[in-house]
Structure 1
Amino acid sequence: MHVVPGLKVLYFGTPVVLVSTLNEDGTPNLAPISSAWWLGQHCMIGLGNNAQTTANLLREGECVLNLPSSAMVDAVDRIALTTGKRTLVDYKVEQGYRHEPDKFGAARLTEQASELVKPPRVAECPVQLECRLVTVNPFGGPERHATAFEVEVLRAHVEEELVIPGTHHVDPIGWDPLIMKFCEFFGGGRNVHPSRLAEGWKMPHRVAAV
């Protein structure tokens, strides 16, 4: 039997992406998101309008989409409730966000120079996609509180062990992406780590302790 609960959140399961951009002063920003999908060599990502990443992408027109494996969940969770914005809006303060100017340091991740864009890659991520901005679309209603960005993938970097020998394809068995489902972290079909984001959003979850 189906019920009609009026769902508040529609995060049925999407890959976590660490988006690296450049701040106005040239320092790198790193933000975990989970609103992304790909078609061909293009990707759509969704970001809140109050995010530092949104401001950076609109200004600079470049980013790197770094895809962490499920084994990197600790690093992602460490920056889940951080923002590059110096001034926080009220709802982020209530959710427990804090300003963090050094996202790479806070996550304990390593900057790696990109080849075609200015923002750095995340060295530890098995998949790194250098991208340029193509189109910008207001999103979310009735008030437009978010932005959907279409980016073109200029260059894809993939750990050699994940590439099927003799092909240009990723091994779907070897690749275990970190997935976010309803603000909780999953990998290999199981909950892999408690989520600060779920706590901040006060999600009424029933997941087993990790």
Structure 2
Amino acid sequence: MEIQGYFKTMVDVLMKPKAAIKKHKKTSFTEGLTYYLLATFVVGIILAIMTAGTAIPMIVLYPVTATIGLIITGFVVWVIAKVLGCKAEVGNFLGLLGVSMSGIALLSWIPFVGVLASLYGLYILYVMLTEGTGMESVSAIITILIPIVLLAILAVVIAALVVTVLGAFGLGALAGALTGALTGGLTGGIAGVLTNGLTGMTF
């Protein structure tokens, strides 16, 4: 496929997710990750340019770390989805995830827009689960909600530890401020985790 074809597919997934995901539901692991690597490579170049060349290593590091993050988080989501009726095997699932999230990855570097794109990515993930892997709507929603709930629990546990430790040193006010920031950051990060891999967390 010519490079223009890859970018056309990324735009199609953003603009017409149901049709585009149905078209690529048989995407292989390597083909799907090619989309994601290409998208994050472009972002790496943009980040390097924006920093006047001081972040040149990002051209390589960003796509590598983002793709590893996508594979890890994608595998976790696949395990949950498989239990709830997903018909796709892990390679196909990760490949389809790579295609589905590549357009979102292209937008992830833009301030504010990246956050909105991550939230929209949750909808695309829902479409991917229902249209691309044969899951029922309720099962797909539960698959998305489980990581959110787990992350929220993690946020509460960490916040409680922060309050306890700082409170013991008489820093109650600081503990309250940090708890609010930490809880908001962790619970808000789930969209980025699912859509852009570990490097896409929106703290």
TM-score higher than 0.5: no
TM-score, reference length from structure 2: 0.26
Bigger helix fraction: 2
Q: Compute the TM-score of the two structures, normalised by the length of structure 1.
A: 0.25
Rg comparison, structure with higher value: 2
Higher strand share: 1
